């Protein structure tokens, strides 16, 4: 288990857990930014097969930057702090295994960007979302202007970014932003049930599939198809590929080793 003043992380049964713990709104401090990066580095070293990112309590997943902390900052200090945020978001993008956002409450501004950087989102019925940056004289700068249009469509994303309006979990599900919406009491159970299903599969195959989707979506279709075959071909010589076929023919669950 690792932790700093406002972030906790640990691994259990091949699942890496990260909790943003800066109540009441779990706003992002420099401690959080460093903690999330350190956690992902540790999970990469210890071979975690999936990662869950959530917030402490039931009020907020993450409320974005700490605006009280930013009051009176010089331009140079502001730029330095934002660079730490950029590094944290890139670490999430670069995570090689599935990373699921378990959104237990408000995901606003940088908090929504954190959730969007994950592979998909499972949210509580009480969650709410929005980009409030234009109300503060800035704009989303951690991938929000790129990820939200890709998730819900350009025109709807423009309206939400330009107005700063918030929207609830039901709207987010209808927009296509969320994979699942759960009652608060069942949120973690639902998230971990999905994670367990992922972990039952061949680890290398899951990583290669994530790579193919993530990078393929940044290419034209023909190039993406070639990239997919490259990712696929790396699985042919694995022991897990042979085990998957044996298990099917022997009518038993596979015993994957990640090799």
Please give the positions annotated as active site. 65, 110, 113, 133
- How do beta strands 128-130 and 106-108 pair? parallel
DSSP the chain: -EE-SSEEEEEETTEEEEEE--TTTT-B-HHHHHHHHHHHHHHHHHT-SEEEEEESTTTEEE--B-HHHHTT--HHHHHHHHHHHHHHHHHHHT-SS-EEEEE-SEEETHHHHHHHHSSEEEEETT-EEE--GGGGT----SSHHHHHHHHH-HHHHHHHHHH--EEEHHHHHHHT--SEEE-GGGHHHHHHHHHHHHHTS-HHHHHHHHHHHHHHTTS-HHHHHHHHHHHHHHHHT-HHHHHHHHHHHTTS-------
In sequence order, the β-bridge partners of residue 101 are: 53, 121
């Amino acid at each position: 288990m690792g932790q700093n003043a406002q972030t906790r992380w640990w691994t259990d049964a091949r699942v890496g857990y990260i909790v943003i713990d800066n109540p009441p709104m779990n706003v992002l401090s420099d401690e959080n930014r460093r903690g999330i990066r350190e956690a992902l580095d540790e999970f990469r070293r210890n071979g975690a097969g999936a990662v869950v990112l959530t917030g402490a309590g039931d009020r907020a997943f993450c409320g974005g930057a700490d605006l009280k902390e930013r009051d009176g900052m010089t331009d140079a200090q502001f730029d330095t702090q934002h660079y730490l945020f950029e590094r944290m978001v890139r670490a999430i993008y670069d995570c090689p295994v599935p990373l699921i956002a378990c959104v237990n409450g408000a995901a606003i501004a940088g908090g929504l960007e954190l959730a969007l950087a994950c592979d998909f989102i499972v949210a509580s019925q009480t969650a709410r979302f929005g980009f409030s940056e234009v109300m503060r004289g800035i704009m989303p700068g951690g991938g929000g202007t790129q990820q939200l249009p890709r998730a819900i469509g350009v025109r709807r994303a423009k309206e939400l970014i330009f107005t700063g309006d918030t929207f609830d979990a039901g709207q987010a599900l209808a927009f296509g932003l969320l994979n699942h919406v759960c009652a608060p009491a069942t949120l973690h159970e639902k998230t971990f049930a999905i994670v367990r299903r992922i972990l039952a599969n061949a680890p290398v195959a899951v990583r290669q599939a994530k790579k193919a989707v993530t990078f393929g979506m940044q290419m034209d279709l023909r190039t993406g198809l070639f990239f997919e075959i490259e990712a696929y071909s790396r699985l042919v010589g694995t022991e897990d590929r042979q085990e998957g076929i044996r298990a099917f023919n022997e009518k038993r669950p596979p015993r994957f080793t990640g090799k």
